[in-house]
Amino acid sequence: MDRYTQRRLTGRPTRNRDGWLDELTDIDPAARLMMAVIRRAVADTGSTPGLAEHARYYIDSDGVAADCAWIGIDPDYIRRQMGSAKGE
C-alpha cells in the first residue's frame, strides 16, 4: 500500500500531485499502451528526419487506424490535427 492510500485511510490530508494517475488505473493496460504508441508517433513527427518519416508513415497507415479503432478514437482526427499543426 502506498503512502497516499495509507494517509487517505487514516483520514489525514494528502497532497497527491500525481492525481491524474488515479484516472488511468481504470483504463485497460493494452489500451494505455496503444495510446502511448500513438502519442509517441505524433511526438516523433517533429524529431529527426528519419524518425519523423517513420512516424508519418505509421500515422498515415492502416496500422494507426486499427490501433485507434481498438481504443475507440477517430484516426482521421489525429491526421487532421497533424495537418493543421503543419499548416496544411
The verdict on residue 57 lying in a domain is yes
Cα dist from 11 to 6, 8, 14, 72, whole Å: 9, 5, 9, 38
| Res 58: pLDDT | 92
**Domain encompassing residue 33:** 25-86
| Res 54: pLDDT | 92
How many structural domains comprise the chain? 1
Alpha-carbon gap, residue 43 to 80, rounded angstroms? 15
How confident is the model over 23-35, as pLDDT tens digits? 556 678 888 888 8
The verdict on residue 80 lying in a domain is yes
Q: What is the pLDDT along the chain (88 residues), one digit of tens a residue?
A: 666 576 667 766 555 555 555 555 667 888 888 888 888 998 998 889 999 999 999 999 998 899 888 888 888 988 888 775 554 5
| Res 49: pLDDT | 92
Alpha-carbon gap, residue 66 to 62, rounded angstroms? 6
